[in-house]
Amino acid sequence: MSEPDREPTEKPTTSKEEAESEGKWMARNGIAIGVVSILALVVLMIGAMQATGLVDVLAPFAETAGAQWGVFFVMALVVIILGGWSWKAIA
Task: Please indicate, yes or no, if residue 75 is contained in any of the structural domains.
Answer: yes
Provide the domain count of the chain: 1
Task: Please indicate, yes or no, if residue 45 is contained in any of the structural domains.
Answer: no
pLDDT score recorded for residue 9: 63
Task: Please indicate, yes or no, if residue 31 is contained in any of the structural domains.
Answer: no
pLDDT band at 2 (very low <50, low <70, confident <90, very high): low
pLDDT score recorded for residue 27: 85
Question: Which domain covers residue 71, as residue numbers?
Answer: 65-91
1 pLDDT exceeds 60? no
Dihedral of the CA atoms 26, 27, 28, 30 (nearest 10)? 80
Cα–Cα distances in Å, from 16 out to 8, 20, 58?
Answer: 20, 6, 50
User: Are the C-beta atoms of 16 and 23 separated by less than 8 Å?
Assistant: no
Task: Please indicate, yes or no, if residue 89 is contained in any of the structural domains.
Answer: yes
Q: What is the pLDDT of residues 29-88, one digit of tens each?
A: 888 888 888 988 998 898 888 888 888 777 787 788 888 888 888 888 988 888 887 777
pTM: 0.64
User: Are the C-beta atoms of 50 and 72 separated by less than 8 Å?
Assistant: yes
